[in-house]
Amino acid sequence: MAESDWDTVTVLRKKGPTAAQAKSKQAISAAQRRGEEVETTKKWAAGQNKQHLVTKNTAKLDRETEELHHERVPLEVGKVIQQGRQAKGLTQKDLATKVNEKPQIIADYESGKAIPNNQVMGKIERVIGMKLRGKDIGLPLEAKPKQK
């Protein structure tokens, strides 16, 4: 029984104020009366629905005439991919498997929704054997002699 001393005193304390209570006006004024340091910061547009506020910058952006958007694959290229794929007897899924991409990417390229990626375009060119980039789109891809 060496561990339980008659002289040991256990003190039970009240919990400190919660975060919400510490932020209340009463808690702040009590802390100021005690002479404690109180830091207050005003959050911008706190508690207000100001995310859709029209400012000078938004109006300036609205007046901007230049359209800011990504270039998409031209429909001409999409048709060439589709014709080349069908000529080889491949489905979109087969072509996707051969170029190691998802079938949705092939569908996006064929419909003209994809943002062109030269790596993907190069892989598709090699599989269907037709040029997809440059001036001569749709022409057969000439096999370059391998250098030794």
Q: Are 21 and 29 in contact (CB under 8 A)?
A: no
| Residue 67 predicted with pLDDT over 80 | no
pTM of the complete model beyond 0.85: no
State the average pLDDT over residues 76-85: 92
| Residue in 118, 115, 127 with CA at minimum distance from that of residue 81 | 127
pLDDT above 90 covers a percentage of the chain that reads 33
Domains, the chain, with CATH or none? 75-133 (1.10.260.40)
> Is the model's pLDDT at 59 over the cut of 80?
no
- Determine the Cα–Cα distance for residues 131 and 30; give it in Å rounded to an integer: 77
Token pair belonging to 62: 């609205």
pLDDT in tens, 9-42: 777 777 776 777 777 888 888 888 888 887 777 7
Rounded to 10 degrees, the C-alpha dihedral 80/84/86/89 comes to: -170
Side-chain half-sphere CA neighbours of 112 within 13 A: 6
Residue 106 has pLDDT above 90, yes or no: yes
Q: Mean of the pLDDT values across residues 117-128?
A: 92
Any idea which of 62-71, 75-84, 123-132, 136-145 has the lowest mean pLDDT? 62-71
